[in-house]
Structure 1
Amino acid sequence: MTSTVASAAPAVDPERNSTAITGWGTFNSTLPTDINKWATDNNARVIDIEPEAGGRFTAQLVQNSGVFQRALSGSTSWTYGETYASLMLKFIKEKKRPIDVERYVDSSGAVRYAAAMVENTGDTQRTFTVITNKTPTEITSAQSTFQGKVVDLDPVGSGRYDAVLLKNTGVDATGGKWFTSQSPTQLQNLVKSGWRFVSLEPDSPSTFAVVAEPDGINGGKEWWNLINVTDQQISDLQAQTGARVLQVRHYKNASNQPRATALFIDDQSAQIAQIRRDMANVAGGNPYGIYLKQVDGPVLVDLNGQRLHDPASAAKVLVHLTEAMRIREGKDEYSNMMKYYANPSALSDVEVCAYNDDGTPILTNPIEAPVFTTAKAMMWASDNRATDALLDRVGGLPAVNSTAAKLGMTKTKYEIRVGCSVKAPGQTSDENSFTLQDFGKLYEQAFHPTKSVLGPSDDTTRKAFVDSMVNGQPLFKQAIDEEAAAIGRPDLASAFYTTVEGRLKGGAYNKMYCDGTTQCDTWNITRSADGWVSLPVRTSTGAVTRRDFVQGYFFEGPMKCTGGTTPCDGHDPKFENLVKAGDKAMIDSLRPQIRAALETWK
């Protein structure tokens, strides 16, 4: 079937090509009613569709605004249950054209079609054709006769394909190509040769059909493709990169395992993309995350914000806040005296808790101090002995997990005594589990300017809680100087800096990856930090108000020592570079907010 229309002012279809920042959604094996409801509620439209079993569909959607604005949205942007004849009639009568066509067999055994569509009017008008059940040779012949380019290719079995073609003229004459029966190695070679995939579907358990465009057409932004992966791996890459999902196709691989292909395109800002590259460059292929949210406002940066990780000593802020809330409720006092104990084998080592190998506590070598001093030792020196004593004082692991629940930290599990023996009492796991988003909830509710769980800013308990934490202000000194100079007012930097406030808590683990050795060439590394920062903003009258943010980062995973196989301790410079990169990520993510606040001082 061919539809010919007069072109107005055409622009290249953005669905698989634009890196513009937009809202989007992805659905895996979902009922049409649920897809349509989300699309309607979020002013979105379907751009890619894949039939699944049981009348369900995997779908990709974009917000119907900006460069993605189309006349069709919600349920009108796609269709399913069509015969070939009814689908073609819909395109003609309703003046629509397909951007994705998928064939499937319904529950009655009948061949049906689903399609994602745009209007075929105005600047989206194209001359197109849909051909079905063709061999690659037949597609090539049809392409030549039609003088078109393949924009969608759907394997239908036995070496045959359905395809959507547009006239290869004007903005659509991009030099795109299509390939069938590509092995994983051939796919890699296509990427190395400068091709960017806009469609990737399995045409056998181990080969793939591809529609590709010359890479760079999207402004040099990044893109990603996955083959032979699980749905979780797709979710992991999306969370890590923040990229928009273009396409997902499910299939059975050569081992008859359920797997998928997936395509992603980078729609992050240049700032976030650079932060991502900086962190990836030192992460060694391991997971990392960065998160920034304005208090009472939007999430501004979120790469892996929902990924569970063990934050090491950064988790101690939950113990700290639990005790502060007890004091606020009159159950304790910062001036009360308390004891913790030094391990006789390491009297001055703040990282070694006082437990025997069998988990029984060592009650010799007591250190007596006020609760405030003990809390400060936990938060400033990251003293595991002080942390352990405060954990017991607040009621143990159940008490801090209760605090997490009250704060809405739904994924958090505080299950170990940080830095203590694995046999120390009450532990239910070998690691704690937090997310950057959960840390954000904690810091936002602890430091909220008017609704803090610790009361108003002048409350003595809240002030003591703040004073016992590490000052995060110096972290942003250089950025403030640079941003003040960038707006032509370096003279503002000093006064602005002195009114910036911030508190944070970092964490680090170095765990041997080689059992039974004193030195190792691979370590399980954790580096993290989370906190709160408050920027001064001047009103039109010159009064100073506050604009608050919560943020954090993490790196986690096995890393080899510098030099590869050379043994090293857990403080290898390569590992410590993670802290520099994490700090830089927190600074760079806040830079636009620093500049915006400085602008109010001009």
Structure 2
Amino acid sequence: MNKNILFRNYASVFCSLVFSLVLAFSTWTAHADLNATTDDRSTAVPTGWWVYTGVTAAQVSTSLTQNSARLTDVEIHSIVSGAPRFTVRMVKNSGTYAVPGWWWYYGLTFTQVGTQLTANNARLIDLEPYDAGGGIIRYAAVMVSNTGVAARAWSYLSGVSSSQISTHITNSGHRLIDLDTYFVGASKFYSAVFVANTGTDAKSWQWWINQTVAGATAKINAFGGRLVDLERQPDGTYNIVMVKNSGTDAFGWWWVPDFASITDFMNYASQLAARPVDIETYVNALGQRRYLGIFIDNGNAATKRIRGVFAERFLDANGNPTRGIFEAYLKRVSSSVAVDLNSARSAETASSFKVVHLLHALRRVQAGADNLISPFIYYDYLSGTFNDRKNACPDPAKEIIANQRTDYNLEKGLDEMMSISDNRTTRGMVLRYGSTAINTTADLAGMVGTQLRHNIGCAYRNPATNKYSTSLRNDTTAADLAKVYEDVWTSSLLTGTPRSEFLESANPGAGAGTALQSIINAEAALQGKQAFAASFGSLIRTWGKGGSYGTCLPNSLGDCGQKVIIRSGAGLIRIPAKTTGGVVAYRDYTFGRLISDVPVPCFGDDPNIAGDQCPTVTNYEATYSKAANELYREAIRSALLTW
């Protein structure tokens, strides 16, 4: 085993050393990394990021090109026919995260790693030893240019023990940024990458090995730390590297030692507006692929604030998103995104989805293939009150002549679908055009997370079998729904009469509601503009559609296994700003927000019972409503500055 140690020039810095398993710590004034030149694990400027797993080197290269990205972490997923498959993490190679040059390699010997470093005048940010077969150790490596402003004193080791790492830290004053273990036979060795713990890179930090989850958690809490590197060992223990999460180096962060799938990993990050700074993968004793990760804030200030509102009810005691899906999205029309919290995750939204049916029908009208005054057919599925009938689950078995209704034309059918959320006329649109055609329109509109699968009003229940299945979920996203309103508003999807009809059907509203007016009043007071608050609120204009369900996730038999609620809303809001001449000049925003598959013990929807039947639902709805209005606070503040 080659145990050579490669050093780069460094300044000697005193570093205290304590042994307990292995702990090294140093105390410095912590600084947030202003850019990702050293590495990206203490940088929380929002950026694009991607994770891929089980991919070939060619697939990695393709993704890097498509995303204009650079690798920041490479893991060996498996060896297939002698060639490695990878799990990789990458970031957009621009702005704060841009580096003057970078390279990645695999299948290298330790000596070859050094050769490539010299050839590129580079510095390692990730070194991954792996068994290439037959006990032959090879390395995958990610390196960046170590020149100019990116130059750092640094070092790396491999084929060493934990005590040798400790000695190196003491002698060099360097700080660990990457730590891995590997085995040759029964012998365990470490590889490690360090950076000089000086100047802007100086941080208080610790490292520990052979920790249980409980032990690691205790160490993190005692230190007030933030993990920057995490590795699971074959015996189920963990090696951790952390920095002090305080001062300007304090960020929102999370770690999870066991994800059942890469989908769970990605959903977790997106739900929290977080970016993974470390990903590891392994196969457990049952032969199941698992993932673990460290995450750091990746949202702008407005997104983090909205996350905080949802956190009041939708995060558990450990700060994890275990209480359903929540999303929030706000975008200025023809401009940038202002709030983006999990906005691309597909979820059930109930009747907010009906805007897709509206869009399809009016595009047919615009194409001359349909007419607003043409006859429209729909069906009654229940007897009883009007509300009972309009809210019914459309059961195709009941679409018989006796239940057929022809008292509406197409325009009336669309209006009823949107204004009173009539499920009967919504089903009438599907019967008229077909679900395939409606989905095609969604695709053409760029709604990449949207798919119509079932009749709105039935939720996850199949009326033919009275069984529940999430395969019946109508998928869409907060961003997709907002996009419809933006592209109609800008006349990209509809023009002329069809565009006007869309806006007429989409529940136009004038003036701010009570909750929104309270936000306007508060923001106006902060600017000393209380006298303008009422006038400002009266000029608010809105269009949109909401949705609401109480349904069930199935158990193994397809019966109701867990009651869940769904609430949603999407649309367009005009916020009044003023020109320098005092003329109102609206700022237009599209929005989407939702909570979906939120577990509840009850629905609280029995009209025969007075009072609050289900406080759990009431509390969730209150938080959702608060977030729905808080979504606009920064936009309101900015517009008030012009008054």
Q: Secondary structure at the match of 1:470?
A: coil
Match of 2:472 in 1: 430
Amino acid aligned to 1:104? Y
Match of 2:47 in 1: 22
2:626 is aligned, of 565, 584, 593, to 584
- Asked if residue 449 in structure 1 is aligned to residue 490 in structure 2, the reply is yes
Distance change in 2, residues 1:4/1:575 (3 Å): same
Distance change in 2, residues 1:214/1:235 (3 Å): same
57-66 or 155-164, which moves further after superposition? 57-66
CA contact (8 A) 2:393 2:455 kept: no
Amino acid aligned to 1:26? V
Q: CA deviation at 1:103?
A: 1.6
Match of 2:551 in 1: 511
Q: Secondary structure at the match of 1:333?
A: coil
Distance between the aligned counterparts of 1:22 and 1:169, measured in 2? 26
CA contact (8 A) 1:97 1:118 kept: yes
Distance change in 2, residues 1:521/1:546 (3 Å): same
Match of 2:415 in 1: 376
- Asked if residue 181 in structure 1 is aligned to residue 210 in structure 2, the reply is yes
Q: TM-score, normalised by structure 2?
A: 0.78
Distance between the aligned counterparts of 2:464 and 2:284, measured in 1? 46
Q: Secondary structure at the match of 1:363?
A: helix
Match of 1:550 in 2: 590
Match of 2:508 in 1: 471
Match of 1:156 in 2: 182
Q: Secondary structure at the match of 2:589?
A: strand
Distance change in 2, residues 1:568/1:88 (3 Å): farther
Q: Following superposition of structure 1 onto structure 2, how do residues 327-366 of structure 1 map, counting pairs within 5 Å?
A: 327-328=365-366, 329=368, 331-334=370-373, 341=380, 343-350=382-389, 352-353=391-392, 359=398, 361=400, 363=402
CA contact (8 A) 1:355 1:424 kept: no
Distance change in 2, residues 1:140/1:418 (3 Å): same
Distance change in 2, residues 1:526/1:43 (3 Å): closer
Distance between the aligned counterparts of 2:274 and 2:76, measured in 1? 23
Match of 2:295 in 1: 264
Q: Secondary structure at the match of 2:226?
A: strand
Amino acid aligned to 2:156? V
Q: Following superposition of structure 1 onto structure 2, how do residues 193-592 of structure 1 map, counting pairs within 5 Å?
A: 193=222, 194-216=224-246, 219-229=249-259, 230-283=261-314, 285=322, 286-328=324-366, 329=368, 331-334=370-373, 341=380, 343-350=382-389, 352-353=391-392, 359=398, 361=400, 363=402, 368-369=407-408, 371-392=410-431, 394-419=432-457, 422-423=462-463, 430-445=472-487, 447-453=488-494, 455-456=495-496, 459=497, 461-471=498-508, 473=510, 474-475=512-513, 476-511=516-551, 523-536=563-576, 538=578, 546-561=586-601, 572-592=614-634
314-323 or 482-491, which moves further after superposition? 482-491
Q: CA deviation at 1:26?
A: 3.3
- Per-residue Cα deviation, 1:244-281 (whole angstroms, up to 9, x for no partner): 12121222122222222212111212321121122133
484-493 or 249-258, which moves further after superposition? 484-493
Distance between the aligned counterparts of 2:552 and 2:46, measured in 1? 41
Distance change in 2, residues 1:333/1:263 (3 Å): same
Distance change in 2, residues 1:523/1:362 (3 Å): farther
Distance change in 2, residues 1:113/1:402 (3 Å): closer
Q: Secondary structure at the match of 2:307?
A: helix
Distance change in 2, residues 1:310/1:103 (3 Å): same
Distance between the aligned counterparts of 2:393 and 2:154, measured in 1? 75
Distance between the aligned counterparts of 1:115 and 1:218, measured in 2? 30
Distance change in 2, residues 1:340/1:225 (3 Å): same
Distance between the aligned counterparts of 2:444 and 2:554, measured in 1? 39
Distance change in 2, residues 1:379/1:201 (3 Å): same
Distance between the aligned counterparts of 1:187 and 1:118, measured in 2? 30
Q: Secondary structure at the match of 1:467?
A: helix
Match of 1:62 in 2: 91
Q: Following superposition of structure 1 onto structure 2, how do residues 80-95 of structure 1 map, counting pairs within 5 Å?
A: 80-91=106-117, 94-95=120-121
Amino acid aligned to 2:232? P
Q: CA deviation at 1:199?
A: 0.6
Q: CA deviation at 1:558?
A: 4.4
Q: List alignment gaps of at least 5 residues for structure 1.
A: none
Amino acid aligned to 1:440? A
Q: CA deviation at 1:506?
A: 0.9
Q: CA deviation at 1:168?
A: 4.7
Distance change in 2, residues 1:38/1:569 (3 Å): farther
Distance change in 2, residues 1:44/1:271 (3 Å): same
2:163 is aligned, of 121, 137, 140, to 137
Distance change in 2, residues 1:282/1:85 (3 Å): same
CA contact (8 A) 2:380 2:389 kept: no
Amino acid aligned to 1:578? Y
Distance between the aligned counterparts of 2:299 and 2:582, measured in 1? 35
Q: CA deviation at 1:231?
A: 1.3
CA contact (8 A) 1:241 1:276 kept: yes
Q: List alignment gaps of at least 5 residues for structure 2.
A: 1-5, 13-29, 316-321, 604-608
Query: Identity of paired residues, percent?
Result: 27
Q: CA deviation at 1:462?
A: 3.4
Distance between the aligned counterparts of 2:379 and 2:252, measured in 1? 52
- Asked if residue 4 in structure 1 is aligned to residue 30 in structure 2, the reply is no
Match of 2:127 in 1: 101
Distance between the aligned counterparts of 1:84 and 1:365, measured in 2? 77
- Per-residue Cα deviation, 1:375-415 (whole angstroms, up to 9, x for no partner): 333323223234334543x3343443343234233442223
Q: CA deviation at 1:68?
A: 3.9
Distance between the aligned counterparts of 2:68 and 2:406, measured in 1? 61
Q: Secondary structure at the match of 2:392?
A: coil
Amino acid aligned to 2:166? T
Distance between the aligned counterparts of 1:31 and 1:389, measured in 2? 48
Distance between the aligned counterparts of 1:337 and 1:86, measured in 2? 73
- Per-residue Cα deviation, 1:39-72 (whole angstroms, up to 9, x for no partner): 5676644332224432444333334455545432
CA contact (8 A) 1:343 1:352 kept: no
CA contact (8 A) 1:360 1:424 kept: no
- Per-residue Cα deviation, 1:108-165 (whole angstroms, up to 9, x for no partner): 9753323333444555544433222223233333333444433321111243211223
- Per-residue Cα deviation, 1:163-208 (whole angstroms, up to 9, x for no partner): 2234455555533121222222223333333332111112215222
Distance between the aligned counterparts of 2:473 and 2:145, measured in 1? 53
Q: CA deviation at 1:87?
A: 2.5
Task: Give the length in aligned residue pairs.
Answer: 583
Distance between the aligned counterparts of 1:417 and 1:584, measured in 2? 30
Distance between the aligned counterparts of 2:400 and 2:391, measured in 1? 12
Distance between the aligned counterparts of 2:395 and 2:218, measured in 1? 57
